[in-house]
Structure 1
Amino acid sequence: MKRFLLTTALAASLALPVHAATPAEGETLAENQTLDFWILDAVKTLDPHKNTDVDGAHVLRQLFEGLMNEDEAGAMVPGIAESYEMSDDGLTYTFKLRDTAKWSNGDPVTAEDFVYSWQRAVNPETASEYAWFMELMNIVNATQVVAGEVPPEELGVRAVDEHTLEVTLSTPTPYFIKTLSHGTTFPVHRATVEEFGDNWTQPGNFVSNGAYVLDSHDLGVKVTLSKNENYWNNAETVMTPLNFITINDQNVALTRYQAGELDWFDRVPAGQFPNLQEQYPDQAVAIPQACSYAYLFNMSDKGPEALKDLKVRQALAYAVDRDIITDKILQGGQKPAYFWTHWAIEGFEAPEIEMAGWTQPERIEKAKALLEEAGYGPDNPLSLTIQYNTSEDHKKLAVAVQQFWKAIGVNATLANYEWKVHTDRLQNQDFEVARYAWCGDYNEASTFLDYFRTDGYNNGKWSNADYDALLAEAKTAENTTELYKEAEQVLNADMPFVPVYHYSNAMMVNADLRGIPYDNVMYNWYAKDLYRVAE
């Protein structure tokens, strides 16, 4: 067995926090340690096994703690697990859990809690939209459990004793450890879930094991958290309370930040970052973030017949002027996208995409010719509906795409929906073309590429056997670089979506706030590691 200590030192430091809110030399903690953080949309659920949203993940990361966390650079560091062993064949991981870890009600956090929770995540009765994540982790029998072919009790996870958890994989998975900071792997408190059913996430019922507890949740307005006095490292946690404030309009959110009502505001409105950088050089920051923005085509039986034609999909993809979107509209450090995986993902090598080398006039010319070949023109115009969720930025981009498509003879109608309705329609294939973004769940290219597997999340229901085979091969390959490039080429050749841009997170951060993980492309942050300094 290969043994790993999840600390920066050796065994002597196992009982110490790897990362905490520790002021640097010369810094003094401010008296006020409140954090007011902006979120765009209402948090639909505080059940970590049912959440699918980035904003929800920010909240859940404070309430729950899995086996692993991430540091400011994205490296995996101890969470509930203080060490682990991996078998020589790479199929068995044995985690030693902290014996000091407790739930917010004082109960100990045990290996059995993880067994119950992981079985719950894959149980079809839970109806988790992220059950497939356990399949990507390659846990033994995960696929069969998700499909309802075997009971959840046959998932490859067991409690050896109260503080020892054993996980068995079906194939060696180099990125397995990187998946363990994801919300789907978080434990939930069994007695609470069983007592309250769907109401277990309500304030007053809620029991969690992270650095914070739930005080209140006013849906679509604010979620408030405070320190969990039973958290194993509570003595090193500084910030409290945390307020996650929902503001659907980014311009309003910016105004409230400038008025001092928010401490941290990410996703600065399109076009405003350059001016903000001049006005607030100590507060305006732009960092790469592992998300890719796209327009999905509905290729299911419920989708429009026109989108079944590759020539139409290619024409629509060619016509989008990504340079205008990134350089003229967004202006926050985003990069034009011609492939799916974010360029900054660890170990990823970008494929060579032919259309990326064309000028925009060349793309427009080719797009018009393709539409004509597909049978569309002035006497038979193509009409489509572009769906997007409420946001001034999403609206600006949808209007731009509408104009790009108009230039090649396509009539696009815009349809705006609130986030929950938008995602429900996506999941039910009730759309034609839809704005979408995928943010990586772990720092490896498969987190992007697995989305488009036939049985992946894949809201557009595109299916390609060659693509599936490449990703299946990549699961056991020693070197995945070329396989991932080939997968990107298959995506590009079949064009089930329009890649638009790779994210940069342009944000405004109060000058007294410290500990934000600017070097973590996953943008996974923990309030327990943050603090405010006195001026």
Structure 2
Amino acid sequence: MTIKTNLMATTAAMLITAGGAVYADGHATHPETGETLASEQVFTYRDLDESPSIDPGKAEDTAGGDIIRDLFEGLMGQDAEGNLIPAVATGYTVSDDNLVYTFTLRDNAKWSNGEPVTAGDFEYGWKRAADPATASPYSWYIELTTVANASEVIAGDMDPSELGIKAIDDTTLEITLTQPLPYFPDMTTHYTLFPVPQATIEEFGDEWTKPGNMVSNGAYVLTEHVPQERLVRERNEMYWDNENTIIDKTVSLIIPDENVALTRFLAGELDRTEVPAGQFPRLAQEYPDDIMSVPQACSYYYTINLTDTTNPALLDPKVRQALSLAVNRDVIVDNVLAGGQKAAYTFTHWATAGFETPETPIAAMDQAARDAAAKELIAEAGYGSDNPLSLKLIYNTSDSHKSVAIAISQMWKQTLGVETELANQEWQTFLETRGNQDYEIARAGWCADYNEASTFLDLMDSGSGYNDAKYNNPEVDALLAEAKTAADPQAAYTQVEQIISEDVPIIPIYHYAAAKMLSDAVEGWPYNNFQQKWYSKDLYIVAE
């Protein structure tokens, strides 16, 4: 579902040049659409939390990724439709055995300090992220690319210099895989595989990401960062395509309260914010030109701690199955959220390219049958009115997460007699708590790193860095490995989804839709990009 009028293709614009400065004003028009551009090209949007890092080698969240894509640029990028397009690389060739990729870099790519971006910068960035000394929370992503020796380097069994990436010369980068991976080029759009400036990092250490220190190669540079308040990036005059960029400045504001953010949007202080839970129908009627809802490659779920630090009851599959069955997902998406989300009975998002959603027993039932089965299972596990089960559920601070948690805890109480203690935590604390398995049940969300089912299901691998349940099923591991080399991996994906539906290390709740308020003055938004990978350089603001 897309609700937005006057959808325009994302295009670059030629701007008026005066005295050597490039700018847009009320008299400039878009070269393809003819629209009059606003005199102030500033895009301001709301973020829920402060990102843990904006270092490409240490970042781990979606909001941080949005910032990094403005500040840095990888080998390849995505267009408004989600198609792969050249970025720093102009293209690539592949060996006959599909194991060696050779990327050709453009010779006019520069860092914000004027130095050229070279193949060596990519080699350094990849090896740094894989190096255990960096402690990258996303190092496992490099292993997923099947780059040669990635597993050994990340495990500390090989020196990072052995990673299968090599700068042949300044504009030629060679990457060797251990097995063919058809979607490998798409994986290079992820920030973990972006280049980083070695000299700057060596000079400033952990302080290199601060304004004034950071050197970047994207369309924007970091000019201001007030933690827990705001982050500002402005045009990078050294960017190779700067003359075709319209937005001069992008500002992200940390606003924890969704309703406060909505008020500020309606007052004209924000160009984009999230639709608060349950308010989409009303806002769509009142502001039809400023609202959108499109499928987004993310899944919302609850992860269950399966280690010895958990509530022992959760180690019983019958308890986990009962909890999953008792969640009325239709109530969550239709009444609590009401923004175009879809009920989830699989981990993989229904709109993922090439994925066919398999039938699972839970999906085939109606809610009455699910509730009946849940009651039987919880009784078989030994819990009931004479032995009530008590659980703890944590979520990162957000009104929407709170609304979902309250609704589900009430479902568990009504159907199963389960008492649930709810607790919210600030984002970075929450990530640490969940990552350290210091929880019983925790809210989680996963957004695709690339448009293929493995980006979701690989989290169920026992060795995944984001397997926060610490789920370990050798059959699942084997199927995921098999899928990597299968001509058609759907059969393996179907089996994995069916197994985790029985084992319930996670409880899928809904598949995301990007339900947002977006000013009708902002054009160029990539509505049809399933991952919702947006770049400020592709946006522009029209005159009111």
Q: TM-score, normalised by structure 2?
A: 0.94
Question: Once the 2 structures are TM-superposed, how far is the Cα of residue 25 of structure 1 from its aligned partner?
Answer: 2.6
- 1:528 corresponds to 2:537: yes
Q: Which of the residues 470, 483, 491 maps onto 2:492?
A: 483
CA distance in 2, matches of 1:48, 1:21: 28
Q: Deviations over 1:147-195 (max 9, x none)?
A: 0000000000001111100000000001101101101001110000011
Task: Name 1:15's counterpart in structure 2.
Answer: none
Q: Does 1:151 align with 2:143?
A: no
Find 1:466's aligned residue among 435, 460, 475. Answer: 475
Structure 1 position 453 matched with structure 2 position 461 = yes
Matched residue SS, 2:49: coil
Instruction: State the distance in 2 between where 1:19 and 1:173 align.
Output: 31
Match of 2:93 in 1: 85
Q: What is the CA–CA distance in structure 1 between the aligned matches of 2:115 and 2:389, rounded to whole Å?
A: 61
**CA shift digits 1:315-356 (9 cap, x unpaired):** 000000101000011000000000100011111100101111
The reply to whether residue 420 of structure 1 matches residue 428 of structure 2 is yes
| CA distances 1:445-475 after superposition (whole Å, capped 9, x unpaired) | 1000001100012011011000000010011
Tell me how far apart the structure 2 counterparts of residues 216 and 46 of structure 1 sit (CA, whole Å).
Answer: 13
Output the amino acid matched with 2:468: N
Distance 2:124 2:369 in 1: 56
2:335 matches 1:328: yes
Secondary structure of the corresponding residue to residue 458 of structure 2: helix
Q: Is the 8 A contact 1:43 1:219 kept in 2?
A: no
Which consecutive residues of structure 1, in runs of 5 or more, have no partner in the other structure?
Answer: 1-17
Partners of 1:50 and 1:371 in 2: CA distance: 41
Matched residues in 1 for 2:442 and 2:229: separation?
A: 26
Q: Once the two structures are superposed, what CA deviation does each residue of 1:5-52 show, in whole Å capped at 9, x if it has no partner?
A: xxxxxxxxxxxxx96347333312211100001111012211011111
- The whole-number CA distance in structure 2 between the counterparts of 1:402 and 1:107 is 55
> In structure 2, what is the Cα distance between the partners aligned to 1:91 and 1:439?
27
Are residues 1:409 and 2:417 paired? yes
CA drift of 1:377 comes to 1.2
Q: CA 1:503/1:37 → structure 2, altered by over 3 Å: closer, same or farther?
A: same
Secondary structure at the residue paired with 1:475? helix
Correspondent of 2:284 among 274, 277, 286:
277
Is 1:397 the equivalent of 2:389?
no
Query: Which residue of 299, 311, 332 corresponds with 1:292?
Result: 299
Matched, 1:345 2:337: no
Structure 1 residue 534 displacement after superposition: 1.8
Report matched runs for 1:84-163 at 5 Å: 84-163=92-171
Is the 2:89–2:104 contact (alpha carbons within 8 Å) kept by the matching residues of 1?
yes
1:371 partnered with 2:371:
no
Rounded to whole Å, the distance in 2 between the matches of 1:514 and 1:21 is 12
Which of 365, 374, 382 aligns to 1:358? It is: 365
Give SS of 2:206's match.
Answer: helix
Letter in 2 for 1:482: A
Provide the C-alpha distance between the structure 2 equivalents of 1:380 and 1:195, rounded to a whole number of angstroms: 61
Once residues 43 and 500 of structure 1 are traced to their aligned partners in structure 2, the CA distance between those partners, rounded to angstroms, is 24
- CA distance in 2: counterparts of 1:269 and 1:490, whole angstroms: 34
Identity of aligned residues (%): 52
TM-fit CA distance, 1:358: 1.3
Report the AA paired with residue 307 of structure 1.
L
Structure 1 residue 430 corresponds to structure 2 residue 438: yes
Partner residue in 2 for 1:166: 174
**Equivalent residue of 1:285, what SS?**
strand
Match of 2:26 in 1: none
Whole-angstrom CA distance in 1 between matches of 2:55 and 2:13: 27
Q: Give the Cα–Cα distance (whole angstroms) in 2 for the partners of residues 229 and 301 of structure 1.
A: 54
1:232-264 per-residue CA deviation (whole Å, 9 max, x = no partner) reads 011111101110011001111011000000011
Moved more, 364-373 or 18-27: 18-27
Q: What's the secondary structure of 1:139's corresponding residue? A: coil
Aligned to 1:3: none
The amino acid across from 1:322 in the alignment is R
Q: Do the aligned residues in 2 keep the contact of 1:384 with 1:432 (CA within 8 Å)? A: yes
Secondary structure of the residue that 2:277 maps to in structure 1? coil
- Structure 1 contact 21–529 (Cα < 8 Å) conserved: no
The amino acid across from 2:165 in the alignment is V
**Matched residues, number:** 517
Q: Is the 8 A contact 1:21 1:515 kept in 2?
A: no
Task: Give me the whole-angstrom Cα distance separating, in 2, the residues matched to 1:194 and 1:480.
Answer: 43
Is the deviation greater in 112-121 or in 363-372?
363-372
Aligned-pair CA distance for 1:359? 1.7
Q: Separation in 2 of the partners of 1:377 and 1:351?
A: 33
Q: Is residue 219–residue 241 contact of structure 2 (8 Å, CA) maintained in 1?
A: yes
Which of residues 12, 21, 31 in structure 2 aligns to 1:20? 12
Relative to structure 1, is the Cα distance of residues 19 and 25 closer, same or farther in structure 2, using a 3 angstrom cutoff?
Answer: closer
State the alpha-carbon separation in 2 of the partners of residues 364 and 283 from structure 1: 39
SS in 2 for 1:38: strand
1:214 equivalent to 2:222? Answer: yes
SS at match of 1:45: coil
SS at match of 2:53: coil
Q: Which residue of 2 aligns with 1:11?
A: none
Q: Which runs of 4+ in 1 moved over 4 A?
A: none
Letter in 2 for 1:490: I
Equivalent residues of 2:11, 2:524 under 8 A apart: no
**C-alpha distance 21-514 of structure 1, shift in aligned 2 (>3 A):** farther
Q: 1:64: how far off?
A: 0.2
The reply to whether residue 310 of structure 1 matches residue 302 of structure 2 is: no
Aligned mates of 2:505, 2:145 — CA distance in 1: 25
Instruction: Give the Cα–Cα distance (whole angstroms) in 2 for the partners of residues 153 and 165 of structure 1.
Output: 15
Which residue of structure 1 aligns with residue 68 of structure 2? Answer: 60
For 1:121 and 1:20, locate their aligned partners in 2 and report how far apart those are by CA, in whole Å.
Answer: 32
TM-score normalized with structure 1 length: 0.96
